[in-house]
Amino acid sequence: MSEPFDPKNIERMIHMKIFIVVKQFQEVIEQVTPFVGSNAKRNAMNDFKEWTGVDYEEYEKRRQQGEDAHDILGEDFVGSNIYVETAFSGLETSQMLCVSTSHLSQQAAAALEKDMKLPLIYFRKHQYGYFVFVPESNEIQEQLETLPDGLREVLQFASDAGVEWLMVDQDGPVVPGLKCYEW
């Protein structure tokens, strides 16, 4: 039985910390061992200590104080270390760019507001703005030609940034270089 969903754990669910122990003996990397899960850090630190004979927290403390790894680990184990990486879980994520509604012309805002037949997937964000799906780069040119000023430029900007969604929000940031409209 799976645990109930807890929104506080979403960051942990999406981004997993991986602790990688690199075991080096003299000039040769002998083994690279990844550790994941709730005990990953402790297990990696135990593995490091087993390999080098040095407590990892002590090793890090001495390194921060400027001591050389050679002096701490001895000649044979220099290069051994723990690296921390972030990996995405199997959950699908996408990136969203947020810009100010001031980048939309009055015509573009009216087209989005009146739900005109624009060649886009978009949703109204209550009274605050819009969410717009950014077409693939090979599709965007033909779609951009039919769009009003402002919307065309912010979509091209979002496409160039490589994001999947664009949030145009009244409190969003003004992007230097993108035209602003007053209406």
Question: Tokens 């009274």, residue?
Answer: 127
Residue with tokens 């990953």: 40
**More confidently predicted of 67 and 12:** 67
Q: How far apart are CA 30 and CA 137, in angstroms?
A: 44
The reported pLDDT for the residue numbered 106 is 92
Q: What is the pLDDT of residue 183?
A: 81
- Residues whose CB falls within 8 Å of the CB of residue 135, separated by 6 or more in sequence, listed in order: 120, 143, 155, 159
Phi and psi at residue 169, to the nearest 5°: -130, 140
- What's the pTM? 0.54
- Which residues face 129 on adjacent strands? 125, 169
pLDDT digits (tens, 9 = 90+) for 128-157: 899 999 987 666 677 677 788 899 899 989
What is the pLDDT averaged over residues 74-84?
89
Q: What is the pLDDT of residue 17?
A: 81
CB count within 10 Å of CB 1 equals 3
R_g of the chain, CA atoms, integer Å? 25
What does pLDDT average to over the chain? 85
Which tokens sit at 118? 């624009």
